[in-house]
């Protein structure tokens, strides 16, 4: 779950559960009230009609008052507002009672409502986040269990917008913005992959453009809830396969899922790179490489259909940069870049000529040239 301040509504948060996302159907930011699943109580952005967890038709969110608001978690964090609900719990904005600053608290359902597999998944996510230490991954501030409330995870509160919102707001990214995103996301992926962690849900909603107090933008990789741990933590004698899924389950978002994910085959770092290739294609063109009327048709295209050339929509795109995007979208993992670091280095090598061609194109269109990441509106 991404926990982040809504850029156009200060003090409010956006919660993006994992659900099927098809081109042209990505919802806008959260509003009030949010549709909610009557079965699992997962909340969704306005416009989504069915639950991505159990397929139930969504209804209006309950108007009942959350009894946890105003209470303290572990005598340290005061829960100020519920900002979203998911299949396994809720996310709250919170403040520390002794130190300044705002936090986001992910709270698992307490008591008998929390199934063993949900607890195992929650603990695995904590274990994974503790292993992936990077300025481009949101860190854990605290993790624990409250006798009255259940398992909880505390993370910093982000400010800004995710990539899906940025694309919906202003369209495709200028090349300087795109290149900064490539640099930051590949750094996060390289760190995760070196720790034996495969994200498995790389998509625009999970790439966040965080604006710090000094106005600088840092790209963050969010939501390791579907991540796979290829090897157990040091000293852990348990299996390296992720606990929350079976070997034949299809996990991820159909619009960015790698062919091996669709086919329930073993995945490694190159699966994440394929998904990031889909993100790059959309960030460049404003369109996904594959579109379909259903998730099943879309997943079939991920496996069998060749991607279109992004230069068809981006006449300024250099041949070398286009080749990188198409290599990322190769059906066979052996034909893709073999690591996030290899991708970063290849992109950096092709960038000077790519920027030159992009700037020439911009000069023919407008005297204004964007040189950095666009900042979200105040």
Q: 3-state SS string over 89-113?
A: EEEEEEEECCCCCEEEEEEECCHHH
* 98-112, 183-197, 291-305, 360-374, range with the lowest pLDDT: 360-374
Query: 256 and 143, same structural domain?
Result: no
Spatial neighbors of 222 by CB under 8 A, at least 6 apart, are 2, 4, 138, 162, 205, 206, 207, 208
d(CA 23, CA 49) in angstroms, rounded, equals 16
**Domain final position from 158, 181, 207:** 158
Q: Is 177's pLDDT higher than 90? A: yes
Angle at 344 between CA 342 and CA 347, to 5 degrees: 105
CA distance 273 to 336: 8
Name the pLDDT band for 122 (thresholds 50, 70, 90): confident
214 and 289 inside one domain: yes
Query: Per the omega criterion (within 30 degrees of 0), is the bond before 33 cis?
Result: yes
The set of catalytic residues is 201
Q: Are residues 277 and 304 in the same domain?
A: yes
Q: For the chain, what percent of residues have pLDDT higher than 70? A: 71
Average pLDDT over every residue of 206-233 = 85
Q: Are 44 and 308 in contact (CB under 8 A)?
A: no
Q: Could you count the other beta carbons within 10 Å of the beta carbon of residue 151?
A: 21
pLDDT score for 121:
78
Q: What is the rounded average pLDDT of the residues 171-192?
A: 96
Q: How confident is the model at residue 2 (pLDDT cuts 50, 70, 90)?
A: very low
Of 115-124, 190-199, 329-338, the least confident: 115-124
Query: pLDDT at position 246, please?
Result: 47
Residue-wise burial string across 339-370, b where 16 or more C-beta atoms lie within 10 A, e elsewhere: bbbebbebbeebbeebbebbeeebeeeeeeee
Same-domain check for residues 132 and 167? no
Same domain, 250 and 320: yes
Both 137 and 83 in one domain: the answer is yes
Question: Are 205 and 316 in the same domain?
Answer: yes
- We report the CATH number of the domain holding residue 134 as 3.30.200.20
**What is the pLDDT, as a whole number, of residue 153?**
87
pLDDT at 117: 74
CB 167 within 8 A of CB 282: yes
Residue 243 lies in a domain: yes
Q: Which of 1-5, 237-241, 321-325 has the highest mean pLDDT?
A: 321-325
Tokens encoding 266: 């073993």
Assess whether 289 and 233 both reside in one domain. yes
Any domain includes 378: no
Cβ atoms of 155 and 106 closer than 8 Å: yes
User: Where is the domain boundary, 114, 143, 158?
Assistant: 158
- The reply to whether 31 falls in a domain is yes
Q: Return d(Cα 307, Cα 348) in angstroms, integer.
A: 23
pLDDT score, position 339:
97
How far apart CA 264 and CA 302 sit, in angstroms, is 13
Whole-model pTM? Answer: 0.76
Domain of 245 in residue numbering reads as 161-365
Say how far apart CA 271 and CA 267 lie, in whole Å: 6
At 335, which CATH number? 1.10.510.10
Higher pLDDT, 212 or 377: 212
pLDDT tens-digit map of 14-27: 333 332 223 333 33
Instruction: Give the model confidence (pLDDT) of 75-110 as tens digits.
Output: 788 898 887 666 567 888 899 988 888 898 888 865
Tell me what the pLDDT averaged over the chain comes to.
Answer: 79
> Do 179 and 151 lie in a common domain?
no
Nearest to 205 by CA among 189, 221, 192, 225: 221
Note whether 36 and 62 are within 8 A (CB).
yes
Does some domain include residue 371? no
Q: Which residue has the higher pLDDT, 146 or 33?
A: 146
Same domain, 204 and 114: no
Which residue's structure tokens are 């105040």? 378
Where a domain ends, among 138, 158, 178? 158
Tens digits of residue pLDDT in 269-316: 999 999 999 999 999 999 999 998 888 999 999 999 999 999 999 999
With respect to residue 126, please indicate whether it lies within any of the assigned structural domains. yes
Distances (CA, A) of 15 to 50, 61, 202, 213: 17, 14, 16, 22
Instruction: Considering only residues 301 and 212, tell me which one the structure prediction assigns the higher pLDDT.
Output: 301
Instruction: Count the Cβ atoms, other than its own, within 10 Å of residue 126.
Output: 17
374 within some domain: no
Strand-strand pairing, 142-146 and 102-108 = unpaired
The b/e string for 309-331 (b: 16+ C-beta within 10 A; e otherwise) is: bbbeebebbbebbbebbbebbbb
Q: How many domains does the chain divide into?
A: 2
Whether residues 92 and 166 fall in one domain: no
pLDDT band at 244 (very low <50, low <70, confident <90, very high): very low
Contact (CB, 8 A) for 328 and 277: yes
d(CA 184, CA 155): 20
22-66: per-residue pLDDT in tens?
A: 333 333 332 334 566 655 556 666 666 676 666 667 765 443 346
Q: How many residues does the chain have?
A: 378
Same domain for 296 and 217: yes
Q: Which of the listed ranges 118-122, 216-220, 340-344, 359-363 does the model predict with the highest average pLDDT?
A: 340-344
């Amino acid at each position: 779950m991404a926990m982040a301040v809504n850029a156009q509504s200060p003090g409010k948060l956006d919660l993006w559960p994992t659900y099927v996302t098809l081109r042209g159907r990505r919802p806008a930011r959260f509003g009030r009230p949010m549709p909610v699943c009557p079965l699992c109580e997962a909340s969704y952005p306005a416009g989504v009609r069915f639950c991505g967890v159990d397929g139930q038709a969504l209804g209006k969110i309950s108007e009942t008052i959350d009894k946890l608001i105003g209470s303290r978690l572990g005598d340290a964090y005061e829960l100020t507002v519920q900002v979203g609900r998911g299949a396994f719990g809720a996310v709250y904005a919170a403040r520390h009672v002794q130190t300044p600053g705002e936090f986001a608290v992910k709270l698992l359902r307490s008591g008998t409502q929390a199934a063993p597999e949900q607890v195992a998944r929650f603990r695995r996510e904590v274990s994974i986040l503790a292993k992936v230490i990077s300025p481009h991954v949101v860190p854990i501030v605290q993790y624990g269990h409250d006798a009255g409330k259940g398992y909880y995870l505390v993370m910093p509160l982000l400010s800004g917008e995710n990539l899906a919102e940025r694309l919906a707001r202003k369209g495709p990214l200028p090349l300087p913005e795109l290149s900064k995103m490539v640099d930051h996301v590949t750094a996060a992926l390289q760190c995760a992959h070196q720790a034996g962690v495969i994200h498995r849900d790389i998509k625009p909603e999970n790439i966040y453009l965080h604006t710090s107090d000094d106005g600088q933008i840092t790209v963050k990789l969010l939501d390791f809830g579907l991540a796979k741990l290829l090897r157990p933590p040091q000293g852990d004698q348990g299996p390296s396969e992720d606990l929350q899924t079976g070997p034949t389950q299809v996990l991820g978002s159909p619009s960015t899922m790698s062919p091996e994910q669709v086919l329930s085959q073993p995945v490694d770092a190159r699966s994440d790179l394929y998904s990031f290739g889909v993100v790059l294609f959309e960030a460049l063109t404003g369109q996904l490489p594959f579109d379909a009327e259903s998730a099943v048709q879309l997943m079939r295209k991920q496996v069998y259909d060749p991607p279109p050339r992004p230069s068809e929509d981006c006449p300024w795109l250099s041949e070398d940069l286009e080749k990188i995007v198409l290599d990322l979208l190769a059906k066979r993992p052996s034909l893709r870049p073999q690591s996030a670091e290899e991708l970063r280095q290849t992109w950096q090598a092709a960038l000077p000529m790519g920027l030159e061609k992009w700037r020439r194109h911009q000069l023919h269109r407008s005297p204004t040239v964007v040189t950095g990441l666009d900042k979200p509106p105040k």
